[in-house]
């Protein structure tokens, strides 16, 4: 029954005779059959060429001659000819074993699927989904209600006071007390930011993302935006890393591997670092700006503008071929609860492993810098820079921390929102969002794209973020609006 007579695809006679000639020359041992090696050689596969060149030595040039001779006999590339033969055989087999019942009238899922892809209905649907998922679910529920509950009530009224009392009673030295429960304390800053502010936001985002991912909406979104993305050097394929970036840019930078060309990978990495706020940042900024709808609008417009402008310029400047895009559409499905929970859980675990140590390290470093007076020196140096874009001195700290973690910086902004005017909030939010990716994301950029590309992106972003912040402040104060 098994492996009795395995099927053999018969190719064009000139290809069959080339296979015969090449296999006669192959003496080395390969993991796949000589026939298969010969076929891959005929199709110019670089991996197999390298293997055969190493294994066959002088015979490789004879093999090359056979390949070239065969290629000249065909009007199309041999890879195309061979692929067509395989596809023909596959179609013949399918015709003999598969029967398809006559199509029924399109079901609801089919109609919904078409509506998601059609630009006239697809973009309104996209806006609705973004509004419901990002604004209502992640913004209002995650960043608003959950953070109020966990940070305000749980940490603010119970956990932090309890430990502050405990530490104050048992540790006589003020500087050591500060290490745990001071302004930059491991508990009062590090753990509070990570667990009480960032985790609820990122957690709700990952939950929503898992549902969307499982439903099959993302491939449809890819088709919808493919035309637009082609203008900025990407294709619909870039949807997954970019949407995932709204959760965690570090994770998304890793996922840019799925892009087909190096050029797409570089552009996607750049846009993630520049114009895609991660959930921690996004949630905090939505919460901070929710009292200033005009500032929120300005922030959104500047971000979209930067995304399109920088993508467009990058696609002009970076060399490389224009990408092509083909994606199969999986059916729309009801997401499975167990799958969603597992996925959300694994992402949150990944995130916490990534984030908690860094938050604690930042608290420790900040405490040490503060104790030694270095902090004040750095902040003194940063003040002219934040002053240059029209922000008060205290925001220097937000930017300093924003370098360690995007969401950390944003969480700092959350703490001082009442001290800033609408214009200052808009400028701070825009600059902070565009500003440097966090350390973890930068490390991932180095790992995935190489140190030179990562540094170039880094330098560009610092200059771009502050220039835009400066211009925005000049324009907004120039026309005298209060947001």
Partner 1 sequence: MQLRAGSPPTGHRWRLRYRRRRKGEGRPSPNFRGNAALPKILLVGNPNVGKSALFNRLTGAYAAVSNYPGTTVAIDEGRCKLNGREFAVIDSPGMYSLLPITEEERVAKRLLLEERPALVLHVVDAKNLERMLPLTLQLIEADLPVMLILNMMDEAEKIGIKINREELETVLGIPVIPVVATAGSGFEELMARINEYAGRQQDSSGL
Position among 98, 120, 173, 480 found at the interface with partner 1 (CB under 8 A)? 98
Helix (H) or strand (E) holding 475: helix 451-478
Residue 96 CB contacts under 8 Å (≥ 6 apart), including other chains? none
Q: Cβ of residue 323: shortest distance to partner 1, in angstroms?
A: 10
247, two tokens: 């959760």
Only one of the segments 83-91, 122-130, 146-154, 288-296 lies at the binding site for partner 1 (rule: CB under 8 A); that segment is 83-91
Sign of CA dihedral 111, 117, 119, 123: positive
**Closer residue to partner 1, CB minimum distance, 93 or 300:** 93
Applying CB under 8 A, which part among 27-35, 158-166, 173-181, 430-438 lies near partner 1? Answer: 27-35
- Do the beta carbons of residue 62 and residue 52 sit within 8 Å? no
Structure tokens at 271: 């846009």
Alpha helices of 276-394 — where are they, by DSSP H?
A: 279-289, 293-317, 337-372, 374-388
User: Exposed/middle/buried for 120, CB within 10 Å: 0-12, 13-18, 19+?
Assistant: exposed
Whichever of 168 and 258 has its CB closer to partner 1, that residue is 258
Asked if residues 296 and 430 have their Cβ atoms less than 8 Å apart, the reply is no
Choose the binding region for partner 1 from 82-90, 111-119, 158-166, 310-318 (rule: CB under 8 A). 82-90
Instruction: Sketch the per residue contact string, 334 through 353, with partner 1: x for CB under 8 A, - otherwise.
Output: --x--x--xx--x-------
Residues of this chain, 448-467, that bind partner 1 according to CB under 8 A: 450
**What residues between 62 and 81 interact with partner 1 by CB under 8 A?**
64, 67-68, 70-72, 77-80
Binding mask 307-336 for partner 1 (x = CB under 8 A): --------------x-----xx-xx-x--x
Are the C-beta atoms of residues 41 and 49 closer than 8 Å to each other? Answer: yes
Among 125, 194, 218, 286, binds partner 1 (CB under 8 A): 218
Q: How many residues bind to partner 1 according to rule CB under 8 A?
A: 82
216 contacts partner 1 (rule: CB under 8 A)? yes
CB neighbourhood size of 301 (10 A): 11
Q: Which is nearer to partner 1, 32 or 149 (CB)?
A: 32
Does 58 interact with partner 1 (rule: CB under 8 A)?
A: no
Residue 223 has which token pair? 């088709």
Q: Residues 21, 45, 148, 415: which binds partner 1 (CB under 8 A)?
A: 45
Residues in region 219-278 near partner 1 by CB under 8 A: 219, 237, 240, 254-255, 257-258, 260-262
Q: Give the Å distances, CA to CA, from 421 to 42, 260, 340, 392.
A: 68, 45, 41, 10
């Amino acid at each position: 029954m098994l492996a009795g007579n395995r099927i053999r695809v018969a190719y064009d006679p000139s290809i069959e005779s080339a296979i015969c000639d090449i296999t006669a020359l192959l003496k080395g041992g390969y993991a796949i059959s000589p026939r298969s090696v010969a076929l891959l050689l005929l199709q110019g596969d670089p991996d197999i060429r390298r293997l055969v060149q190493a294994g066959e030595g002088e015979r490789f040039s004879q093999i090359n001659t056979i390949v070239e001779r065969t290629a000249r006999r065909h009007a199309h590339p041999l890879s195309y000819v061979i692929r067509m033969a395989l596809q023909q055989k596959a179609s013949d087999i399918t015709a003999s074993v598969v029967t398809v019942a006559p199509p029924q009238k399109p079901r609801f899922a089919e109609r919904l699927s078409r509506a998601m892809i059609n630009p006239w209905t697809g973009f309104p649907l996209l806006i609705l989904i973004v509004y419901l998922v990002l604004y209502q679910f992640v913004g209002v529920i995650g960043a608003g209600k959950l953070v109020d509950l966990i940070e305000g009530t749980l940490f603010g009224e119970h956990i932090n006071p309890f430990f502050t009392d405990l530490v104050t009673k048992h540790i006589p030295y003020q500087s050591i007390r500060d290490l745990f429960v001071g302004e930059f304390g491991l508990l009062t800053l590090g753990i509070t930011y990570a667990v009480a502010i960032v985790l609820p936001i990122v957690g709700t985002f990952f939950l929503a993302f898992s549902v969307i991912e499982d439903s099959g909406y993302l491939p449809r979104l890819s088709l919808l935006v493919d035309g637009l993305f082609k203008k900025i050097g990407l294709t619909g394929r870039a949807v997954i890393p970019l949407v995932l970036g709204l959760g965690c840019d570090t994770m998304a930078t890793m996922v840019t591997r799925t892009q087909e060309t190096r050029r797409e990978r570089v552009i996607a990495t750049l846009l993630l670092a520049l114009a895609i706020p991660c959930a921690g940042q996004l949630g905090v900024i939505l919460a901070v700006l929710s009292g200033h709808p005009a500032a929120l609008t300005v922030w959104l417009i500047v971000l979209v503008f930067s995304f399109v402008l920088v993508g467009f310029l990058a696609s002009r400047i970076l060399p490389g071929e224009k990408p092509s895009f083909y994606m199969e559409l999986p059916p729309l499905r009801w997401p499975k609860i167990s799958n969603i929970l597992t996925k959300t859980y694994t992402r949150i675990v990944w995130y916490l492993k990534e984030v908690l140590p860094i938050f604690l390290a930042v608290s420790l470093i900040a405490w040490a810098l503060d104790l030694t007076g270095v902090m004040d020196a750095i902040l003194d140096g940063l003040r002219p820079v934040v002053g240059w874009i029209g922000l008060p001195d205290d925001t220097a700290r937000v930017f300093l921390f924003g370098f360690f973690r995007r969401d950390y910086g944003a969480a700092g902004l959350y703490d001082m929102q009442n001290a800033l005017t609408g214009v200052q909030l808009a400028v701070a939010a825009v600059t902070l969002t565009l500003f440097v990716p966090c350390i973890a994301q930068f490390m991932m950029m180095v790992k995935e794209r190489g140190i030179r590309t990562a540094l170039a992106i880094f330098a560009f972003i610092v200059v771009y973020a502050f220039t835009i912040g400066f211009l925005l402040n000049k324009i907004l104060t120039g026309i005298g609006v209060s947001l």
